[in-house]
Amino acid sequence: MESLRWILLAVGIAFVVVIYLLGRSRRQRNHSMIDELEDDLPEFSARSLDDVDEGVGQVRIITRSESETGESDVSSPGVSAEGGRQANSSETGTENVAEDVQEDEHEDDRADKNRVNDIIVLYILPKPDLSLIGSQINSSAQAMGLKFGEMNIFHYMDGNRSVFSLANMLEPGSFDADTIHELKTTGLTVFMQIQGDDPLDDLTEMLQRSYQMAGLLDARLCNHKREPLTEQDAENYRTQVSEFVAASTPELSSET
């Protein structure tokens, strides 16, 4: 009986040790999964692209963070970034600079409430730790009906009108036709300016062809915040187009 008690005690201790080791292994596995998920999140230099300003020239995209720093991911004739008022701290002092920035932010907020954006921006981003290859970008763009042209970027055309355009997300935003097959980039920018007789059809073309192109590139189609595009995002863009058309049409504006 004495030996049986010792055996049962040993079995009990072994069982407790096994439970402890299994629990510790599960916690380590959970932490590992969390770390992997965090690694999957792409990192970007721009904080937000919520505030898209009206175009100057053909297309001009401005974010609030850019108005403070004068920087952007893309700078090209078609997708240019022009920073807001920049103060010289050596002349005005840091206090005046802070006051100017705060004043500009308040002015931007007031203007945003009374303006419907006429630019819609999407992103095609590769999977984590990967790049988009120039030769695949070129072939996929052509497969989706886009043509290389003005400003050295791709355009989807309706006659002589550009419905939407595709640019390199990195500066200077354009592509070099002679070296595009050697290109590696961290993403593409798809953008359209609301115009034409039926901009809702233009938006549909942009969404569908961008989604298909992202599939060809084994990449992700993302919204203007660089988050995976959802059906709700698409519906929000349709609402944005409808509101812009209503605000731009005197007859509709007077009725509303």
pTM equals 0.57
CATH, domain 117-255, list 3.30.1400.10, 3.40.50.800, 3.40.50.920, 3.30.565.10:
3.30.1400.10
Of the candidates 202, 147, 206, which has an alpha carbon nearest to the alpha carbon of residue 177?
147
d(CA 112, CA 99): 20
For the chain, first and last CA: distance in Å?
93
Amino acid letter, residue 102:
Q
- The SS3 assignment for 105 reads helix
d(CA 240, CA 227): 18
d(CA 201, CA 67): 32
d(CA 165, CA 175): 12
Q: Angle CA(55)–CA(149)–CA(71) in degrees, nearest 5?
A: 40
Give the pLDDT of the chain (256 residues) as one tens digit per residue. 667 777 777 777 776 676 666 666 555 554 454 444 344 433 333 333 333 333 333 444 444 444 444 444 553 334 443 333 343 444 444 445 445 545 655 555 554 545 568 999 999 999 999 999 999 999 999 999 999 999 999 999 999 999 999 999 999 999 999 999 999 999 999 999 999 889 999 999 999 999 999 999 999 999 999 999 999 999 999 999 999 999 887 655 455 4
